[in-house]
């Protein structure tokens, strides 16, 4: 099979898509418009990015991207209750799984291989001996010492809450009053706080939970270098988030 046609988003009835073993560098942008898609398989390609729009697919039940070049996953992956099976095996630079994936069926063998030396220029977050890459679109990492949000983040969150009820698609802000890039961010935030669901646009407060220290460790041979990552919206949510509660 050749490149995935960009018109794939127009296939509203499509339920299963398998584009494995195709040397794909990216997935078609309009894939998130396939509202009936239940199973997406893209194993053994060269994907470095799971588009965050895929988190909005309402029917997606199984996502498989084993054997790619992923170093991070979208913050909201697994937020949908429908998504229950996520297979990410053999992505050696992938060290962080969104905490939403805890308690789902996941495959992560061959991820976070500690021998690999990565040259990727991505933001990283370390806790103890563990380091995870953050999604490329995250601009800043907050810690316990940063209780005050950056101005752009404050403005985006305020705009989101002020406008969402009158127009959920924020279309009335386009194209004059807001640059297109900010409008798109408003329509599809980086993710939502894993503690309180507040949308996040530029900064996240990550908290790591090593998989080998969770009750799930036995399922993964107990040796994995992968962590669950809770992406929080503030120092308060960072303090109070608990994976096991």
Residue selected from 17, 24, 37, 233 as contacting Zn ion according to rule CB under 5 A: 233
Binding mask 189-218 for Zn ion (x = CB under 5 A): ----x-xx-x--------------------
- C-beta of 137 vs 198, nearer to Zn ion: 198
| Bridge partners for 105 per DSSP | 85
Residue reference for tokens 């895929």: 54
- C-beta of 62 vs 198, nearer to Zn ion: 198
Q: How far apart are CA 236 and CA 231, in angstroms?
A: 12
Q: How far apart are CA 102 and CA 16, in angstroms?
A: 24
Q: How many residues bind Zn ion (CB under 5 A)?
A: 6
Spatial contact of 48 and 24, defined as CB atoms under 8 Å apart? no
DSSP line for 59-74: T--EEE--SS------
Phi and psi dihedrals of 150, rounded to 5?
-60, 155
Q: How far apart are CA 45 and CA 42, in angstroms?
A: 7
Residue selected from 63, 71, 97, 237 as contacting Zn ion according to rule CB under 5 A: 237
* Cα-Cα-Cα-Cα dihedral sign, residues 74, 76, 78, 81: negative
- C-beta of 87 vs 100, nearer to Zn ion: 100
- C-beta of 52 vs 207, nearer to Zn ion: 207
Which one of 66-74, 123-131, 181-189, 226-234 is the stretch in contact with Zn ion (CB under 5 A)? 226-234
- C-beta of 90 vs 234, nearer to Zn ion: 234
- C-beta of 46 vs 158, nearer to Zn ion: 158
Q: How far apart are CA 164 and CA 99, in angstroms?
A: 26
Spatial contact of 228 and 201, defined as CB atoms under 8 Å apart? no
Q: How far apart are CA 80 and CA 197, in angstroms?
A: 12
Residue 238 Cβ vs Zn ion, minimum distance, rounded to whole Å: 8
> Does 225 contact Zn ion by CB under 5 A?
no
Spatial contact of 102 and 228, defined as CB atoms under 8 Å apart? yes
- C-beta of 43 vs 153, nearer to Zn ion: 153
Binding mask 135-174 for Zn ion (x = CB under 5 A): ----------------------------------------
> Does 27 contact Zn ion by CB under 5 A?
no
* Cα-Cα-Cα-Cα dihedral sign, residues 195, 86, 117, 114: positive
Residue 245 Cβ vs Zn ion, minimum distance, rounded to whole Å: 14
Residue 231 Cβ vs Zn ion, minimum distance, rounded to whole Å: 9
Residues that bind Zn ion (CB under 5 A): 193, 195-196, 198, 233, 237
């Amino acid at each position: 099979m050749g490149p995935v046609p960009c018109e794939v988003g127009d296939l509203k009835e499509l339920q299963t898509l398998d584009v494995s073993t195709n040397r794909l560098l990216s997935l078609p942008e309009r894939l998130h418009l396939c509202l009936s898609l239940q199973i997406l398989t893209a194993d053994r390609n060269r994907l470095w990015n799971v588009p965050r729009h895929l988190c909005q697919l309402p029917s997606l039940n199984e996502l498989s991207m084993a054997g790619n070049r992923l170093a991070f996953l979208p913050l909201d992956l697994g937020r949908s209750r429908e998504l229950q099976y996520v297979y990410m095996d053999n992505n050696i630079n992938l060290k962080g799984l969104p905490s939403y994936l805890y308690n789902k069926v996941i495959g992560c063998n061959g991820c976070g291989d500690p021998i690999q030396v990565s040259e990727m220029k991505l933001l990283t977050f370390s806790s103890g001996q563990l380091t995870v890459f953050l999604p490329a679109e995250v601009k800043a990492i907050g810690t316990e010492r940063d209780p005050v949000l950056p101005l752009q983040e404050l403005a985006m969150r305020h705009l989101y809450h002020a406008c969402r009820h009158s127009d959920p698609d924020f279309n009335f802000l386009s194209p004059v009053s807001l640059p297109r890039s900010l409008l798109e961010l408003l329509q599809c935030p980086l993710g939502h706080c894993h503690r309180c669901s507040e949308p996040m646009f530029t900064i996240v407060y990550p908290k790591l939970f090593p998989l080998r220290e969770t009750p799930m460790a036995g399922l993964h041979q107990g040796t994995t270098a992968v962590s669950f990552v809770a992406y929080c919206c503030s120092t308060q949510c960072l303090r109070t988030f608990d994976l096991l509660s």
